[in-house]
């Protein structure tokens, strides 16, 4: 079920959608939710029209919606700051995909991260979960000693500082910062794999390729090419693990690895053409 419009539109779809059978409505209403809507939002007339308390309909939507809407099965997965699965929208199939990102033992619960898009230390993650989902996170990454929490905060602060530095530099320094960010991300284990691919590896690949093209000294070109290979190797491994070998994103990383500079130049030319067409 997909309901990606807020307020009255959500209630309208809940009431009128042909895809939402009585059984699906019942399953939707059984989802847990955080209270967002004030009491005055609900009226007996509205309740009669949609066949449910409108506050509950909206609260469930606000609590459980993904970018593409509410998915009745996926919304039941519990949170972990270091989950064993991730989800993403598959443009090729038009479905939200769920994939394991590490081995899952028989009987082990499958978990998602309800955040993981930005870097947060233990206390920040717990505050986020409390404010947005009303629970105190007790996952493996959060149930740690104060000494471990201080180390977690130190690593996270360093990562955030590098993000700030990244906005004002380019060339060799940019590549080095992205390499350090990747190492920190692997240490933290709380950033989504998709975030690591998009925010570190893709940018690192582009920067290293551009550095290779700009470099005049052979030694510097070799260093940049080593970085190109490092980013592409990591990109191939993570994209296959997350998206699957047959997915176009994973295939594109394989293409990067085979002919990195040619891929980069073709990609940059495509962006240039699109930019010129947009500016007309």
Identify the CA nearest to 198 among candidates 230, 239, 254. Answer: 239
At 6, is the pLDDT very low, low, confident or very high (cuts 50, 70, 90)?
very low
268 versus 192: which is more confidently predicted?
192
E strands, the chain, are 78-79, 85-90, 95-100, 111-112
209 versus 73: which is more confidently predicted?
209
| Least confident stretch, 25-34, 77-86, 95-104 | 25-34
Over residues 7-26, mean pLDDT: 65
Identify the CA nearest to 174 among candidates 121, 214, 117, 216. Answer: 214
Q: Is residue 1 pLDDT above 50, yes or no?
A: no
At 21, is the pLDDT very low, low, confident or very high (cuts 50, 70, 90)?
confident
Q: Is residue 102 pLDDT above 50, yes or no?
A: yes
| Least confident stretch, 24-33, 154-163, 222-231 | 24-33
Over residues 18-46, mean pLDDT: 70
% the chain with pLDDT above 70: 83
- Whole-model pTM: value is 0.80
Over residues 103-128, mean pLDDT: 93
Over residues 251-266, mean pLDDT: 95
160 versus 273: which is more confidently predicted?
160
| Domain spans of the chain, in order of start | 7-76, 146-279
Surface-to-core class of residue 218, CB atoms within 10 Å of its CB (0-12 exposed, 13-18 middle, 19+ buried): exposed
Q: Please state the φ and ψ torsions of residue 243, each to the nearest 5 degrees.
A: -95, -20
Surface-to-core class of residue 271, CB atoms within 10 Å of its CB (0-12 exposed, 13-18 middle, 19+ buried): exposed
pLDDT at 2: 39
Q: Is residue 233 pLDDT above 50, yes or no?
A: yes
Q: Is residue 16 pLDDT above 70, yes or no?
A: no
**For residue 219, what are its two tokens?**
């030694």
pLDDT at 276: 39
State the chain's mean pLDDT as an integer. 85
**Which residues does 246 contact at the CB level (< 8 Å), separation at least 6?**
none
Q: How far is CA 241 from CA 33, 80, 218, 233, in A?
A: 31, 19, 35, 13
For the chain, the first-to-last Cα distance in angstroms comes to 39
184-187, Cβ contacts within 8 angstroms, sequence gap of 24 or more: 184/155, 184/158, 184/159, 185/159, 187/155
| Least confident stretch, 17-21, 64-68, 139-143, 158-162 | 17-21
DSSP code string of 147-181: HHHHHHHHHHHHHHHHHHHHTT--THHHHHHHHHH
């Amino acid at each position: 079920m997909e309901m990606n419009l807020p307020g009255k539109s959500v209630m309208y779809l809940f009431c009128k959608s042909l895809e939402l059978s009585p059984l699906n409505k019942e399953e939707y209403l059984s989802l847990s939710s955080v209270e967002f809507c004030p009491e005055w939002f609900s009226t007996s007339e509205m309740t009669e029209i949609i066949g449910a308390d409108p506050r509950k309909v909206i609260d469930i939507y606000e609590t459980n919606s993904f970018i593409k809407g509410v998915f009745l099965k996926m919304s039941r997965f519990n949170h972990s700051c270091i989950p064993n699965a991730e989800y993403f929208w598959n443009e090729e199939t038009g479905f939200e995909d769920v994939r394991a990102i590490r081995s899952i033992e028989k009987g082990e619960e499958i978990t998602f991260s309800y955040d993981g898009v930005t870097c947060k230390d233990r206390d920040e993650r717990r505050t986020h979960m409390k404010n947005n989902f009303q629970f105190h996170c007790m996952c493996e990454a959060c149930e740690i000693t104060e000494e471990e929490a201080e180390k977690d905060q130190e690593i996270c602060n360093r990562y955030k500082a590098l993000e700030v530095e990244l906005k004002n530099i380019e060339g060799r320094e940019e590549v080095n910062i992205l390499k350090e960010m990747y190492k920190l991300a692997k240490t933290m284990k709380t950033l989504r794999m998709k975030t690591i691919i998009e925010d570190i590896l893709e940018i690192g690949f582009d920067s290293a390729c551009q550095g290779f093209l700009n470099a005049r000294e052979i030694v510097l070109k070799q260093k940049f090419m080593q970085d190109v290979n490092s980013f592409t190797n990591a990109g191939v491994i993570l994209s296959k693990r997350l998206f699957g070998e047959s997915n176009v994103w994973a295939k594109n990383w394989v293409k990067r690895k085979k002919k990195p500079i040619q891929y980069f130049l073709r990609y940059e030319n495509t962006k240039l053409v699109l930019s010129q067409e947009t500016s007309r």
